[in-house]
């Protein structure tokens, strides 16, 4: 029988201490991603059955070096562990420490023990420690620390049965603090404990040291804390330095007692040797850009087959539904609105899976830290992080996985800037728009004998997007003001072979997050857009067929030509058509007419829809044999009634190209930015600045060229 | 040598020294948490290709930090 009271166990540890491996091993695929209440930090939790059939909820807290947070993500660790009287308070804390070098892990461990929750030490990577010749007296260690110490190897599951056993045993908090608070602090701490009934000294001390984490206390209690802090002249982190030094000296003494054999560092030889190549002045960058190129190519090339498969599957399913369901508004909503909408979400899965396979390999192997190391100097000038290179480069394939990849950036400001500028990188959905417009306005000629002009124009657009991204980053860097200081101070972990199951878990986690969280918004917007494009006021749309037949009875149209005209007529008289026409005064200075206006609206679903819409709308007014004409020929034949010349002059074409380079014409990107920033503030800022940039640039281009 | 205090940013690749203190209170706490404590041995490993950031070994860890951060760590050798 599973007991009704579920045990809550929090996992805490340094980054690179193997905490995620342990979490994956304990919970398997029973993981879910949620949110910590009130903050944007992701909460990973899962279930695990412990000996005696108790189910335990395992909560994976962000990796941190100490209980004093360095970032918003790390703050959640203090938030969760300091709040001892909430239903979410963990019953136990498991601290993972890298056995190859325990010092830094023990700093965090000693703080957690002092916070007064029952704690277990999971000494991880025992295999590597053995290889390095390190040997500890674990019995003495356990006695000295006053907590269970379990040696494990989370990569292959060794020791996890013992760990689970220890997790299921009732355990009291350790009685004696490792680092008693100083004499001079005893008065304010006692005062606070008397007022608020806090369990122990160190917890009370943390309340005084870290007032920013105390939201869970509520206003009244926070005020009590503030009064005492003012009375005794506390400021955040006042004693942090002294505390750290004292804890490290305790740790040094402890290690002198329990270390039977210390490491001689020779086991790191291979890692050092690898760094000589991977961080080389020339080869370092050659290898890095080769890796980026490989990632980029794989998203482009490998994702295409499954994407086409998903695309055709949903198209077939949709037409199958149309053929079997009785015709009516509900059937067409299902077949033409909902099913393609879901297809439009699932189509991103191959790209997301491939990108995150690469990213988690880079992270797991320790290479990602080197990427930051190599790129920091360049990227920091633009307010970006060394890790921003990966999202920016992936953005050339698709902004959706790219923006999700920005989560690896710890600094909030750098991450936000990366998210804001990534959609300016020209993604693969812009390619169909670019190709058709370039073919229309740039002659297929060679310049200087071998440069294809059309190819040059395309490359120019990609460059334009990149430059815009960097310039925008620089401007946003000046605009966003934060107190958080940018610093690097980061570990370069020893290289390791990635654990493949962790790579798999990451892919599953990212895909789920996208489908279930961003997916909802994408589906909603795509249904709205579908309604706008297929319904119109009154019964004009119902009479479309009759009207078109009436208009074109002298034209001797083929069946397809007629169908095209009906589709165009419907689009023109739909709500989207009406909005497009209403938009005309606004977009006229850019050289666009209402037909382009309609395409701008429908292509908000995805940029490539522009091509399809243009094809439909321009079959209006085309001559009777036009059903064989390509979209390009139709566009070329289009006449501007005001000038009598062609509609698509170079000025209009370039204006459109620039517009599509800069505009946030993608609801899926908006949805994922909403999901990643947990609110509508940033997606709306992004939509506004990108649309303004697109509009003004397109205006400038048209006015200068025409 | 003059009486001026040296710092980690002035070290050369391969050079070894002992951390004597910090000149930036805010950064010192973060550095100490990462194992960079007064009295410990610091080794300057290498710089990034553009000369910044740098990689040091301290307390058995490899840390990367920017030159301006490294310049807040005073050393004796």
What is the residue-wise DSSP string for A532-562? HHH--STTTTTTHHHHHHHHTTTS---HHHH
Q: How far is CA A693 from CA A285, A424, A466, A472, A599, in A?
A: 33, 10, 14, 10, 19
Torsion sign over Cα A85, A87, A89, A92: positive
Residues in chain B closer than 8 A to A277 (CB atoms): none
Between CA A599 and CA A584 the distance in angstroms is 12
**What pLDDT was estimated at residue A555?**
67
Cβ pair A396, A459 in contact under 8 A:
no
In this prediction, residue A624 carries a pLDDT of: 42
Spatial CB neighbours of A262, under 8 Å, sequence gap ≥ 6:
A134
Q: Which residues of A touch B60 (CB under 8 A)?
A: 101, 103, 263, 265
On chain B, the residues whose CB falls within 8 A of the CB of A71 are none
Interface touch B48/A378, C-beta < 8 Å:
no
**Worst-scoring range by mean pLDDT, A120-129, A442-451, A587-596?**
A442-451
What are the residues whose beta carbons fall under 8 Å from the beta carbon of A188, sequence distance 6 or more? A208, A228, A229, A231, A232, A234
pLDDT of residue A1: 39
Cα–Cα distances (Å) from A243 to A63, A97, A209, A238, in that order, read 20, 20, 11, 10
**ipTM, 2 decimals?**
0.94
Q: How confident is the model at residue B36 (pLDDT cuts 50, 70, 90)?
A: very high
Residues facing A96 on adjacent strands: A13, A122
Query: pLDDT tier at A386 (50, 70, 90 boundaries)?
Result: confident
Distance of CA A50 to the CA centre of its chain: 33
In DSSP notation, A110-140 reads HHHHHTTS-EEEEEE-HHHHHHTT-EE-HHH
- Please check whether residue A351 is in contact with residue B23, taking contact to mean a CB–CB distance below 8 angstroms: no
Nearest to A225 by CA among A204, A245, A200, A203: A204
Return the DSSP state at A86. Answer: S
CB distance B21 to B38 below 8 Å? yes
The separation between the first and the last C-alpha atoms of chain A, rounded to the nearest angstrom, is: 79
Q: Which residues of A327-420 form beta strands (DSSP E)?
A: none
Taking a C-beta distance cutoff of 8 angstroms, is the pair A123, A147 a contact? no
d(CA B10, CA A695): 50
Q: Which residues of A touch B65 (CB under 8 A)?
A: 487-490
- Which of B22, B34, B54 should one mutate to test binding to chain A, selecting the residue with the greatest count of A CBs within 10 A? B34
The whole-angstrom distance between B4's CA and the closest CA on chain A is 25
* pLDDT for the residue numbered A167: 94
**A354: Cβ–Cβ under 8 A, 6 or more apart, which residues?**
A295, A298, A299, A302, A303, A401
B contact test, residue of A106, A241, A495 with most B CBs within 10 A: A241
pLDDT per position as a tens digit, A349-380: 998 899 889 988 998 899 989 998 999 999 99
Start-to-end C-alpha separation, chain B: 11
Q: What is the pLDDT of residues B49-60, one digit of tens each?
A: 888 899 999 998
CA distance A654 to A146: 72
As a whole number of angstroms, the distance between CA A147 and CA A140 comes to 11
Q: Is the pLDDT of residue A36 over 90?
A: no
Contact present, A281 and A140 (Cβ < 8 Å): no
Strand partners, A43: A34
Substitution target in B33, B42, B68, B71 with the highest count of A β-carbons within 10 Å is B33
Chain A interface residues (partner B, CB cutoff 8 A): 65-66, 68, 70, 101, 103-104, 107, 237, 240-241, 244-245, 248, 263, 265, 275, 279-281, 284-285, 369, 372-374, 376-378, 485, 487-494
- Minimum CA–CA partner of B55 in chain A: A492
b (16+ CB within 10 A) / e for A634-656: bbbbbeeeeeeebbbbebbbbbb
Q: Are strands B73-76 and B6-7 parallel, antiparallel or unpaired?
A: antiparallel
- Summary mean pLDDT of chain A: 86
Burial of A72 (0-12, 13-18, 19+ CB in 10 A): middle
DSSP label of A66: S
The DSSP symbol for A200 reads: -
Q: Which residues of chain A are within 8 Å of residue B69 when distances are taken between CB atoms?
A: 487-489
Cβ(B37)–Cβ(A245) below 8 Å: yes
Phi/psi for A198 (5° steps) reads -85, 145
Say yes or no for a CB contact (<8 Å) between B30 and A244. no
Question: How far is it, in rounded angstroms, from Cα A84 to Cα A222?
Answer: 15
8 Å CB contact between A268 and A320 = no
Distance CA A590, CA A594 (A): 12
pLDDT of amino acid A92: 95
A189 pLDDT higher than 70: yes
In the predicted model, what is the mean pLDDT of residues A122-127? 94
Q: Report how far residue A457's alpha carbon sits from residue A399's, in angstroms, rounded to the nearest whole number.
A: 22
Q: Identify whether the C-beta of residue A383 lies closer than 8 Å to the C-beta of residue A626.
A: no
CA proximity to A92, closest of A113, A66, A69: A113
Rounded to whole angstroms, what are the CA distances from A101 to A155, A295, A309, B39, B46?
A: 17, 33, 49, 18, 22
Burial status of residue A504 (CB atoms within 10 A of its CB: 0-12, 13-18, 19 or more) = middle
Cα separation, A42 vs A174, whole angstroms: 30
User: Angle, nearest 10°, between helix axes A19-27 and A500-513?
Assistant: 80
Q: Does B46 touch chain A (CB under 8 A)?
A: yes
Report the largest interatomic distance among the alpha carbons of chain B, rounded to a whole angstrom: 32
Closest CA to A567 of A636, A620, A628, A624: A620
CA distance B10 to chain A (A): 17
pLDDT in tens, A230-283: 888 888 778 899 999 999 999 999 999 998 888 777 778 888 889 999 999 899
Strand, coil or helix: what is A197? coil
Q: Write down the pLDDT at residue A492.
A: 92
- Bridge partners of residue A56, in order along the sequence: A7, A48
The alpha-carbon gap from A498 to the nearest alpha carbon of chain B, in Å, equals 19
With CA atoms as reference, the chain B residue closest to A378 would be: B50
A175 φ/ψ angles, rounded to the nearest 5 degrees: -80, -40
Its sign, for the CA torsion A8, A14, A15, A17, is negative
Nearest CA in chain B to A484: B26
Per-residue pLDDT tens for A388-408?
Answer: 988 998 888 889 989 988 887
Whether residue A701 is predicted with pLDDT greater than 90 in this model: the reply is: yes
By C-alpha distance, which of A317, A316, A335 is closest to A326?
A: A335
pLDDT of residue A46: 93
Mean pLDDT confidence for A61-83: 87
Give me the residue from A65, A103, A237 closest to B59, CB to CB. Answer: A103
B28 has a chain A CB within 8 A of its CB: yes
pLDDT number for residue A609: 82
Each residue of A439-478: b (16+ CB within 10 Å) or e? Answer: bbbbeeeeeeeeeeebeebbeebbebbbebbbebbbebbe
Q: Do A103 and B25 touch (CB under 8 A)?
A: no
Q: Which residue has the higher pLDDT, A457 or A211?
A: A457
Beta carbons of A374 and B48 less than 8 Å apart:
yes
Chain B nearest CA to A223, separation (Å): 26
- The predicted-structure confidence for A485-526, as pLDDT tens digits, reads as follows 778 888 999 999 999 999 999 899 889 888 888 888 888 888
Among the partner-chain residues B33, B38, B63, the one whose CB lies closest to the CB of A66 is B33
B13 touches chain A (CB under 8 A): no
pLDDT > 80? residue A301: no
Query: How close, in Å, is residue B71 to chain A by CA atoms?
Result: 12
Interval A217-243: pLDDT, tens = 888 888 888 888 888 888 877 889 999
Phi and psi angles of residue A184, each rounded to the nearest 5 degrees, phi first: -65, -15
Dmax over CA atoms of chain A, in Å, equals 101
């Amino acid at each position: 029988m599973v007991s009704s009271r579920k045990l809550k166990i929090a996992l805490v540890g340094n980054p690179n201490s193997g905490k995620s491996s342990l979490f994956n091993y304990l919970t398997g695929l029973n993981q879910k991603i949620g949110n910590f209440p009130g903050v944007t930090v992701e909460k990973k939790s899962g279930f695990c059955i412990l000996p005696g059939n108790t189910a335990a909820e395992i909560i994976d807290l962000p990796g941190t070096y100490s209980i004093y947070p360095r970032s918003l993500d790390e703050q959640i660790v203090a938030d969760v562990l300091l709040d001892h009287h909430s239903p979410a308070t963990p019953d136990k804390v498991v601290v993972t420490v890298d056995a190859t070098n325990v010092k830094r892990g023990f700093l965090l461990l000693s703080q957690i023990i002092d916070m007064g929750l029952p704690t277990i030490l999971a000494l991880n990577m025992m295999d590597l420690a053995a290889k390095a010749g390190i040997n500890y007296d674990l019995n003495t260690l356990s006695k000295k620390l006053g907590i269970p110490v379990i040696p494990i190897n989370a990569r292959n599951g060794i020791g996890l049965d013992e760990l689970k056993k220890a997790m299921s045993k009732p355990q009291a908090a350790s009685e004696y603090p490792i680092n008693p608070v100083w004499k001079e602090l005893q008065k304010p701490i006692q005062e606070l404990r008397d007022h608020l009934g806090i369990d122990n000294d160190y917890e009370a001390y943390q309340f005084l040291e870290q007032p920013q984490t105390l939201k869970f206390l509520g206003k009244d209690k926070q005020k009590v804390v503030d009064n005492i802090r003012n009375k005794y002249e506390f400021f955040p982190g006042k004693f942090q330095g002294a505390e750290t030094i004292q804890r490290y000296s305790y740790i040094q003494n402890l290690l002198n007692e329990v270390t039977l054999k210390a490491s001689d560092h020779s086991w790191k030889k291979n890692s050092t040797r690898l760094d000589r190549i991977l961080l080389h002045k020339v080869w370092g960058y050659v290898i890095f850009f080769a890796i980026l190129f490989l990632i980029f190519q794989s998203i482009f090339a490998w994702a295409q087959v499954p994407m086409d498969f998903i695309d055709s599957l949903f198209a077939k399913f949709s037409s199958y539904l149309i053929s079997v369901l009785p015709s009516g508004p509900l059937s067409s909503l299902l077949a033409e609105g909902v099913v393609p909408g879901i297809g439009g979400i699932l189509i991103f899965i191959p790209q997301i899976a491939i990108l995150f396979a690469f990213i988690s390999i880079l992270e797991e192997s320790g290479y990602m830290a080197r990427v930051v190391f190599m790129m920091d100097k360049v990227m920091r000038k633009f307010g970006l992080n060394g890790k921003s290179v990966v999202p920016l480069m992936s953005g050339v394939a698709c902004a959706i996985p790219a923006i999700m990849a920005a989560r690896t950036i710890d600094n909030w400001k750098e991450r936000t800037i990366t998210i804001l500028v990534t959609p300016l990188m020209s993604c693969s959905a812009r390619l169909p728009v670019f190709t058709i417009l370039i073919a229309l306005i740039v002659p297929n000629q060679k310049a200087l004998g071998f440069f294809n002009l059309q190819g040059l124009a395309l490359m120019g657009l990609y460059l334009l997007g990149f430059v815009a991204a960097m310039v925008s980053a620089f401007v946003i860097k000046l605009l966003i003001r934060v107190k958080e200081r940018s610093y690097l101070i980061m570990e370069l972990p020893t290289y390791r072979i990635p654990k493949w199951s962790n790579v798999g878990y990451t892919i599953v986690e990212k895909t789920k997050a996208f489908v279930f969280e961003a997916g909802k918004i994408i589906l909603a917007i795509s249904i709205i857009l579908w309604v706008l494009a297929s319904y119109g006021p009154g019964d004009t749309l119902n009479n479309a067929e009759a009207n078109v037949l009436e208009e074109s009875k002298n034209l001797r149209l083929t069946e397809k030509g007629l169908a095209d005209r009906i589709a165009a007529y419907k689009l023109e008289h739909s709500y989207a058509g009406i909005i497009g026409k209403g938009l005309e005064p606004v977009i006229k200075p850019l050289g666009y007419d209402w037909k382009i206006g309609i395409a701008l609206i429908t292509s908000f679903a995805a940029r490539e829809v522009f091509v399809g819409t243009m094809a439909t709308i321009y079959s209006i007014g085309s001559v009777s044999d036009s059903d064989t004409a390509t979209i390009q020929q139709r566009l070329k034949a289009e006449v501007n009634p005001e000038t009598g010349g062609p509609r698509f002059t170079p000025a209009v074409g370039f204006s459109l190209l620039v517009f599509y380079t800069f505009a946030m014409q993608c609801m899926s990107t908006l949805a994922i930015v909403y999901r990643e920033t947990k609110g509508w503030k940033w997606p709306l800022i992004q939509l506004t600045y990108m649309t303004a940039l697109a509009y003004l640039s397109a205006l400038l281009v048209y006015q200068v060229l025409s | 040598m003059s009486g001026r205090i040296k710092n980690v940013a002035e070290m050369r690749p391969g050079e070894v020294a002992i951390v004597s203190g910090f000149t930036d209170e805010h950064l010192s706490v973060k550095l100490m948490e990462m194992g960079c404590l007064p009295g410990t041995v610091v080794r300057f490993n290498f710089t990034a290709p553009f000369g910044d950031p740098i990689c040091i070994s301290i307390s058995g860890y490899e840390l990367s930090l920017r030159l301006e951060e490294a310049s807040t760590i005073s050393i004796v050798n």
